[in-house]
Amino acid sequence: MKTNTKGLKLTYLSTCLLGLFSSHVMAAEQNQQSKSVKDDAIEKVTVVASRQAYQGNFSPLETPQSELKIDLEALENAGAVSLDQALDLSASVARQNNFGGLWNSFSLRGFVGDENLPSNYLVNGFNAGRGFGGSRDLSGIESVEVLKGPRAALFGRGEPGGTVNLVTKRPTFDTAGEIKLSVGSFDTYRADVDYTTALNDDVAIRLVGFYEDAESFRDTIETTKQGFSPSIVWNINNNSQLIYELEYSDQEVPFDRGVLAIDGELGLIPESRFLGEPGDGPIEADVLGHQLEYIHDFDDNWSILFGANYRDTSMEGFATETGFGGVIDGEVNRFRRYRDFDAKYQVFRTELSGNLELGGFEHRLIMGVDADKFENDQVILRVRGDQYINVFNPVYGAYELPTPTSNTDRVEIQESVGVFIQDQISLTDKLDIRIGARFDDYEQRLNNRLANTNTKQTESRVSPQFGVVYEASDYVSVYGAYGENFRPLSGADANGDGFEPNQSTSAELGVKFTLNDGALFGTVAVFKVEQDNMLVVDDATAFTYAAIGEAQSKGIEIDLTGELTDTLEVWASYAFVDATIENSFFDANFGYTVEAGASLLNVPEQQLSLQLVQSTVLYGKAIKFGGGLLHVGKRNGFFGTDFELPSYTTARAFVNYDVTDAIGITAEVNNLFDETYYTNSFADAWVQPGTPRNVKFSASYKF
């Protein structure tokens, strides 16, 4: 009889977790009982949230920018356990080339960053997307904020379409915990644990962790992921608080470029077909990060925040990848690469915020300074040759895997110091204007160890911002916003020199409204973004680039979230995005000329995310059920050609039932109608297929 090793792994893991946390809970309960009388006389403090850096204290109706907050309940209703799944809830976000499943890459309002780096995102206001730690798991995440529009005046260098910020779960002074075990299609097993408690009247901790072992609908692919995110809060006194968070994760994921199109046609090979070499083994991606924040309130109006972040990431392993020569007599040529990437990122910031009366007007100010350093160390070995595989009848391990030789060996260091200020001025009870600016002093050093060359460049930029918002009533406001920003570009041109930064301007107009006594919130926005100095491949052989691309994105967004009735919730997000290249250029990567007017890669014109959730009572216990759909329009799948990824619509259904006050069970079906679809591509040779119909069952225990 075959032993179910994954089941044994999950059983062992859950037993360890239960033993660890049940012993902690028992000790806490005994301690609680021993001083139950004293507790009645002690005022309990519960930390429910910490102020987010760079954002200030503004209600949604008085914020002159579009925002979409995906809270924990919405994430759970959607069954989202990864950042990609969370961002599918925002129609303004489109999936991009995910580097063989090794990182998160997405566009916001049509624009994505450097194709050779993961998309940048923030964690509690800190840059955290930089680096190579693998795709982001949502363990330890309380909410995901999609902050759209021009924000460089505060956040600094970033993408013109907006910013994604992850808000972490932080300790509370009430003891609570949850253990969740899940099993799903393709031999997927997962365990999550979340526990928070007070150590004393001033200090609380939170321990969050996960372990996942999964096969895949993709042939030979198996992944292992684990992570741990402990945090501690110290209420130093009534006005001061210190917060520390650690992030650790380890992932082993085989590099998988997906499927390919044959003569421009998808679907001629099954979506399960893996065209790499299982013998390469997995790529290992690791993260070790630290965040520290000190917050002090001077009085009811003014506070100061000091923060520091250090994040060390790495990615290492072999991969055999399909080339771009096309399928000939059923075979495609491949090449093999070894990658050893290391990145270190550190940030320090100080921020002062508060309100004051000046010149007869109320001013809400945010001002501060930050400094960061990003060290990007990349070593790539590569070998080409007669590494063919039959796409219709693949035979793995048909030849000895060749040994790659040097291709890239360089380290890049980016350092910057920024000073920022934002003032939102109340001209009347209903009319506010927002004025902001940020000055950045930036330096890039590039050491090409392979060519034995060193280059250095410096840049100073001011990024202005302006906004106006008019609250027409307690339920409706209209706003406009304009901003400029820049983003440093990694790498070097054909002469070994760095690039002028990517520059952009962004403008939007919108209406925000509440319905159903504030239970339902909506935003309608129109926007236009222009960008230049985008990187394009200059020499594919030398792996050099030129910053000559220009592009434009414009469109409309509609978001509606909240309660339709006391028992029926809705989540609806729609976007129309017209994102195009504005100048013709020759793309040396594939030998094609990209004509002006061509659509940007992987950006659909139409995208819709919809979810309905009904809550009721069954046999005296709470039950909720619902479903949703995701529609993604057709997209450009290969620059310089007419290859497109087809549109698709996937559906999802779930039910959650509280068996007892402590035990809950959930069943969900994803891709309900078993749609064949493709989420993103880099070219017709690298196309990521979507997951077929799959089911997942979960059981949770709260204590």
Domain annotation for the chain: domains and CATH numbers = 5-45+60-394+402-702 (2.40.170.20)
Phi first, then psi: what are they for 9, rounded to 5°? -60, -45
Terminal-to-terminal C-alpha distance of the chain: 37
3-class DSSP state of 621: strand
Helix, strand, coil share of the chain (percent; to 5): 10, 55, 35
By DSSP bridging, strand 663-670 and strand 520-539 are unpaired
Mind listing the pLDDT tens digit for each residue in 59-85? 999 999 999 999 999 999 999 999 999
Tell me the CA distances in angstroms from 325 to 328, 334, 395, one per residue in order. Answer: 8, 9, 20
Mind listing the pLDDT tens digit for each residue in 6-30? 444 444 444 444 443 344 333 334 4
CA separation for the pair 191, 669 (Å, rounded): 19
Higher-pLDDT residue of 130 and 278 is: 278
Mind listing the pLDDT tens digit for each residue in 250-296? 999 999 999 999 999 999 999 999 999 999 999 999 999 999 999 99
| DSSP label of 366 | E
Q: How is residue 367 written in tokens?
A: 């001002």
pLDDT at 19: 43
| For range 548-563, the mean pLDDT | 94
Element holding 37 (H helix, E strand): helix 36-39
CA separation for the pair 313, 317 (Å, rounded): 14
pLDDT at 11: 44
Q: What would the DSSP string read from start to end of 491-506?
A: S--TTS---PPEEEEE
Angle at 87 between CA 274 and CA 74, to 5 degrees: 120
Contact residues for 175 (Cβ-Cβ < 8 A; gap 6+): 25, 28, 32, 196, 197, 198
Residue 94 pLDDT > 90, yes or no?
yes
CA separation for the pair 54, 368 (Å, rounded): 9
Tell me the CA distances in angstroms from 649 to 422, 575, 610, 626, 674, one per residue in order. Answer: 42, 15, 11, 17, 10
The pLDDT confidence band at residue 51, using thresholds 50, 70 and 90, is: low
Helices (H), 126-166: 152-155
pLDDT at 54: 65
Length of the chain equals 703
Residue 136 exposure: Cα atoms within 13 Å on the Cβ side: 28
Q: How is residue 125 written in tokens?
A: 């206001």
Q: What would the DSSP string read from start to end of 41-83?
A: TSPP------PPTTT-S--GGG-SS-EEEE-HHHHHHTT--BH
Whether this prediction's pTM lies above 0.85 is answered by: yes
Contact residues for 260 (Cβ-Cβ < 8 A; gap 6+): 269, 275, 322, 327, 332, 391, 684, 685, 686, 687
Tell me if 249 sits within 8 A of 128, measured CB to CB: no
Encoded amino acid at 197, one letter: T
Phi first, then psi: what are they for 324, rounded to 5°? -110, 20
Say how many C-beta atoms besides its own lie within 10 A of residue 78's C-beta.
Answer: 24
pLDDT at 187: 97
